[in-house]
Amino acid sequence: MLNILLSEPNFSTAEQVAGAINREIHGVSARVRDSRRIEVERGPDAGDVPGLLAHIENLSVEVHRRARVIINERTGTIVMGREVRLGAVSILQVCRLAAPAARLRRNQGCARDQRAGRGD
């Protein structure tokens, strides 16, 4: 018995790999044990292990990657992976003032944007 471990746990990808092994390689049986592990049972006519692994390694499957978004709170920088899909969004700008608005000079950004109707 062989265990194949995915570098990124994902049930969809594990099912794709097990299905491809069962369809393409005769004499073996693959089943998903968890989101990371695929168990491959070799039959008597499955051949040698390196040859079997080489065959499995060359199978084509569609990998489902998890979408990732990283937000830096300090700078406001947002980094997204290519798997991220955006739908309808709302953007809200929040101004945190350290001093009362009356003490702010006229040309300071947040107070100026609110006066012009852009800080809503």
* Cβ-contact 41, 32 below 8 angstroms: no
Question: Which residues contact residue 33 at a Cβ distance below 8 angstroms, ignoring those fewer than 6 apart?
Answer: 3, 39
Model pLDDT, residue 40: 95
**Dist CA 15 CA 35 (whole Å):** 9
Model pLDDT, residue 66: 76
**Dist CA 17 CA 32 (whole Å):** 9
Q: What is the DSSP letter of 102?
A: G
Tens of each residue's pLDDT in the chain, 120 residues: 899 999 888 899 999 999 999 999 988 999 999 999 999 998 877 678 898 899 999 999 888 777 888 888 888 888 888 888 878 877 776 666 665 555 555 545 555 544 455 444
pTM for the model stands at: 0.56
